[in-house]
Structure 1
Amino acid sequence: MRVLIAGGGTGGHLYPGIAVAEEFYKQDSKSEVLFVGTEKGIETRILPKQGYKLETIPSGGFVNKDLFAKMISGVKIVSGFIRSFSILMRFKPDVVIGVGGYASVPMMSAAVMLRFPTVILEQNLIPGLANKVLSRIVDRVIVAFEGSKKFFRRDVNVFGNPVRQVIIQNEYQPGGTFTVFVFGGSQGANAINRAVAESLGHLKTEAGDIRFIHQTGEKDISWVKEAYRKAGIDAEVSPYIYNIEEAYNKADIVISRAGATTIAEITACRRPAILIPFPFAAHDHQRSNAEYLASLGIVEVILEGDLNGEKLAGKLKYFFKNRDILKKMSGKSANIYNRNAAHDIVNICRALAGIK
């Protein structure tokens, strides 16, 4: 089966696509998967390392941009649309899957015009404008949350977000040194980095029994490393963690943004978390994602406007002393994540393509 997966830009869009690609190969080792993204997206770094084929097209977005930037994006989208035709005619996929991100719109539009079977995945509780528009023309819409159905004027499938098997296979086994995994998404998050650095001075009594794994992004790596050194707290600090499953496996608790893929991963591997939603996400969808999990007792939420080192340290001290609560939070995660999400998505795609 020939599969084209369009989108990316951030890990939040890319990794669900990789999870689906894994499942296609699992069901049929002779499958051919081609990713289509943009030159500046994270996919250009990640996919070659994992052995996947990637082609890039021009594209752009419109959210939170001025008029001139929107005009430039419009030109890029038209160019990407034309380039998409060429890729589709050459690759001739049995199904085209949009996972979100700038490359998704021109490719999915071209695929619809050429009458290839099409599927879009919506990872967030509140869908973005692009997927709302695409939902009117594609063959199938698959969402992660039951609450997302009301935003679409058509039937949708609710399967959850697909997560890679190496993450799903992680078991939660707290014990020993209390390990905190910090990351602000694939780009890093300065506000989270600063709050964590400020929290270290409040964790002196725990210094010998607490350690951090911290993905900072490229810009903050030097001064964050220095903050841990000055505080005398053990830490693995990296600009980007390629084998994120290893960090999850070691973590007692996660501190992160609240993108849909992140919350899918932490629930899939049942890691309790302190979520700090990105306040400028479209439609404030990260806050919706985080508050949904908080209502189920799976995570704690700190809004960025309320975030500071003292408050964050207070949360960490509480969980450090009450690890039984972390175990309860972990147990609740097991009840909400669909571990068969990728399998269900691939079955829909195979049926749509007429392949058993």
Structure 2
Amino acid sequence: MRVIVSGGGTGGHIYPALSLIKEIKKQHKDAEVLYIGTDNGLESELVPRENIPFKTITITGFRRKLSLENVKTVLRFINGTKKVKKIIKEFKPDVVVGTGGYVCGPVVYAAAKLRVPTLIHEQNSVPGLTNKFLSRYVDKIAISFEQSKAFFPEKKVVYTGNPRASEVIDTNGEQGRASVGLQDGKRTVLIVGGSRGARPINDAFLEVLKEAKTRDYQFLYVTGQVHYDKVMEEVKKQGNPSNVIIRPFIHNMPEVLAGVDLIVARAGATTLAEITALGLPSILIPSPYVTNNHQEKNARALSSRGAALVRLENEMSGKQLLTDIDEIFTENRLNNMKEASKELGMPNAATDVYHTLQTIAKKR
């Protein structure tokens, strides 16, 4: 099996692609995969690290206002499509997969025009511009939230979930706890604002750092590398409670997630895929700085089913955060949220996406 995969810009597009590639290679040991990205996106760091052949094109996204930059984007799209067509003719893929980001536009479009079977994967409840555009040309559209069905041609849609969910299922929670110094036998809250951290979440927790010491549960507080030094300056003033472990970044996040009882986080699609696969309750604080406010819509999809509590940034304070955690840690509430989260989880998502692309590849 020969597959071209494209996805770029953010980890939310790249990690599902990498999870799918792992599944492809698990199913086909002799599978050949080529990844097409940009040379300035996060994929240029993550993909080569996994020893996956990697080629690049130059592409940018459209501005929402008319500008000269949009004209340049159209030219880059045309040139990118020409380059991808050449790559496709040389590589001869059985199927081409796009997982989002601007780079997928010319890659998947070129494949469709060359009559190569195509599939796109949408991680969010509200799709981005690129996937909306590509939906007219592709053979199948795999979605992670039922709510996103409404944005695509109904006959093309397959509800698979996010392939990233499959990454956390077989992880060892005990090893995850031990790796960051968490105590066994204590309920644990993970507070994290994403790979770069989130200042509003940091500020809220620092407000109640001293009060956190009085709780009989423990905290793993991940500040984000960018914010770590400033956070530690404040921690030195207040003191670091023995039940609060502070880290700038967690490299083995799937393992750690499997070892905690509750997470306070943003509402990115990858995070939600992981926590529902594990049946993990959550307090979600959606980022308001994303396109179409999609994080809040992602979060509401969980809260409407009882799997999460949603707090907008303007509702969040340290006192509110501790109150919410205390209330969730009552026995019935925690267990009910676990069950609701598990019902939403799709741990076989990578396999389901693989079977979908295998089906369309056979039609060639």
Under a length normalisation based on structure 1, what TM-score does the superposition of the two structures give? 0.89
The separation in 1 between residues aligned to 2:160 and 2:167, in whole angstroms, is 19
Cα shift at 1:272: 1.0
User: Residue 164 of structure 2 corresponds to which residue in structure 1?
Assistant: 163
Partner of 2:233: 226
Give CA deviations for 1:165-184 in whole Å, capped at 9, x if unaligned: 44022488996233222333
User: Judging changes above 3 Å, is the alpha-carbon distance between structure 1 residues 16 and 89 closer, same or farther for their aligned structure 2 residues?
Assistant: same
Structure 2: any 5+ residue segments left out of the alignment? 178-183
How far is the alpha carbon of 1:66 from its aligned partner? 7.2
Structure 1: stretches of 5+ with no match in the other structure: none
Count of equivalent residues:
352
- State the match for 1:104 in structure 2: 104
- Pairing 1:214–2:222 present: yes
CA distance in 2: counterparts of 1:181 and 1:50, whole angstroms:
27
Q: Is the CA contact 2:166–2:350 (under 8 Å) kept in the aligned structure 1? A: no
State the shift of 1:68 in Å. Answer: 4.8
User: Matched residues in 2 for 1:282 and 1:157: separation?
Assistant: 24
Residues 78-109 of structure 1: CA deviation (Å, up to 9, x unaligned): 44333323332332211110100121111111
- The residue aligned with 1:238 is 248
> Alpha carbon RMSD of aligned pairs, Å?
2.6
Name the residue aligned to 1:8. 8
Match of 1:340 among 332, 335, 348: 348
Decide whether the 8 Å contact of 1:18 with 1:164 is kept in 2.
Answer: no
TM-aligned CA deviation for residue 353 of structure 1: 1.3
Match for residue 353 of structure 1 among 346, 358, 361 = 361
Matches of 1:171 and 1:246 in 2, distance apart?
Answer: 6
Is the Cα–Cα contact under 8 Å of residues 143 and 157 in structure 1 kept in the other structure? yes
Q: Distance in 1 between matches of 2:63 and 2:188?
A: 37
Find 2:335's aligned residue among 327, 336, 346: 327
Aligned residue number for residue 257 of structure 1? 266
Query: 2:90 & 2:280 partners in 1: Cα distance?
Result: 43
Whether 1:281 aligns to 2:290 is yes
Identity of aligned residues (%): 37
Aligned counterpart for 1:197 among listed residues 190, 203, 206: 206
Q: Look up the equivalent residue of 1:276 and give its one-letter code.
A: I
User: Post-superposition, which runs of at least 4 consecutive aligned residues in structure 1 deviate over 6 A?
Assistant: 171-175
1:306/1:107 CA distance change after superposition, 3 Å:
same
Distance 1:318 1:227 in 2: 27
**Residue type of the partner of 1:291?**
R
Q: Which amino acid aligns with 2:327?
A: Y
Where 1:120 maps in the other structure, the secondary structure is: strand
Q: TM-score, normalised by structure 2?
A: 0.87
**Matches of 1:193 and 1:51 in 2, distance apart?**
35
- Is residue 268 from structure 1 mapped to residue 266 from structure 2 by the alignment? no
User: Is the partner of 1:96 in helix, strand or coil?
Assistant: strand
- Residue 71 (structure 1) shift: 4.3
Aligned mates of 2:233, 2:29 — CA distance in 1:
47
| Letter of the 1:33 counterpart | V
Per the alignment, do residues 345 and 2 of structure 1 end up closer, same or farther by CA in structure 2, a change over 3 Å counting? same
Question: How many Å separate the matches in 1 of 2:279 and 2:168?
Answer: 10
Shift of 1:131: 1.1
CA contact (8 A) 2:193 2:222 kept: no
